[in-house]
Chains A and B, each alone.
Chain A
């Protein structure tokens, strides 16, 4: 029984590519693992198809930075959210989106670093 479970687990690992392969995140601004001198005022995600952004959470050192996501916006291949004034630090971005074409969920995480001490630009309103 243990052997067959391990075989099944090995088969799943072999078969599984990158998870959630429907809508794909092509790029982001700031990019994943970017080292920024100045704090960004917005965050943009570009996908290979139209999506509706469902959730975007931004955390730094375990602290949640409030970000507003407009779920009523029509689906588009590129979505942007305004960011509050960010100080130096490492930021984790966790996002999830829904593809209106097939109803599937896409999601992912990435991080970027702000090395400057103070926000360079005022947040967009």
Chain B
């Protein structure tokens, strides 16, 4: 059966939930790593961003449950069908949405003080990894390894993609030295985090493909290849930021601030495409390991 209107709605809701959750969690991680380098007004703006993204994440999660029920019934009546909604809730959506909302609440409240930054990071990590409570990695079996790998992957994505808006908030001030200091601090941690997220993603992919790396032989693998093209593009942008723009910012080059703002916009766009592609293939295709 081909995908229909409600399946498209489900994919949109999933994409929004991913973006909002990673945005909120990543901004909390960024605050923890770079708080000492930021002005009070910047920290305030990022706190408001965390709150707005957390609210959007909760709404997106609710929309996912409603559109899943509508997808099953084939029309909007599914959204009002308590028994269908109950089925979706009990099949993992309840656990995922509950842990996400709780994690975000803790992150929002605890990120207001530096003394509770560790607790805010714990909440952010709980929210980012909430997607592991449901989905293909969980279906791989009783083995905990796929869920651990996915959790590591998700936390890394939140750290990376969620830092883009806070970085653009700092770059908006136009001060190259201030922006460069934050970019350098973030970049030094991000190098390790991105390495871990790519390694975890590669091993998880190998498991999902049935202990194989034959990408072209399944629809799922072809979707992953499509995603990897965009991942390669965003990696190139991140490398450009770290190795070319950050040294120029640290040397006081004002034009580098404008360039950083532009590359961050492109990174956000590419990051959005990656999340949309992931939402699409995790909805429409099953991994070969589960066939």
Chain A residues close to B by CB (< 8 Å): 11-12, 14-24, 48-49, 52, 54-55, 57, 71, 94, 96-105, 107-109
Contacts and interface: CB of A to CB of B under 8 A. Distances in A.
A82 B139 CA distance: 30
Nearest to B64: A103
A103 B93 contact: yes
B222 A105 contact: no
B88 A103 contact: yes
B74 A103 contact: no
B91 A99 contact: yes
Interface in B117-134: 134
Task: Give the secondary structure class of B's interface.
Answer: helix
Interface string B44-86: 0000000000000000000000001001111000000001100
A45 to B, nearest CB: 13
B167 to A, nearest CB: 28
Given A55-B72, A105-B71, A20 B138 contact: no
Interface stretch (B21-29, B242-250, B257-265, B281-289): B281-289
Given A19-B284, A20-B284, A104-B283, A98 B88 contact: yes
Contact of A105 (B68, B218, B226): B68
Given A20-B286, A22-B136, 9 more contacts: A21-B220, A24-B291, A54-B73, A54-B84, A100-B90, A103-B96, A103-B134, A104-B286, A105-B10
B83 A71 contact: yes
A52 B91 contact: yes
A101 B281 CA distance: 17
B138 A102 contact: yes
A84 B220 CA distance: 39
A22 B87 contact: no
Interface of B: 1-3, 7, 10, 68, 71-74, 83-84, 87-88, 90-93, 96, 134-136, 138-139, 218-220, 222-223, 226, 280-281, 283-286, 290-291
Contact of B286 (A21, A52, A100, A108): A21
Considering residues B10, B68, B87, which has the most beta carbons from chain A within 10 angstroms of its beta carbon? B87
Contacts of B291: 21, 24, 48
Contacts of A99: 91, 139
A124 B126 CA distance: 49
A99 B87 CA distance: 10
A22 B92 CA distance: 15
A66 to B, nearest CB: 15
B186 to A, nearest CB: 32
Contacts of A48: 291
Nearest to A51: B91
Nearest to A71: B83
Nearest to B94: A103
Nearest to B93: A103
B74 A16 contact: no
B144 to A, nearest CB: 15
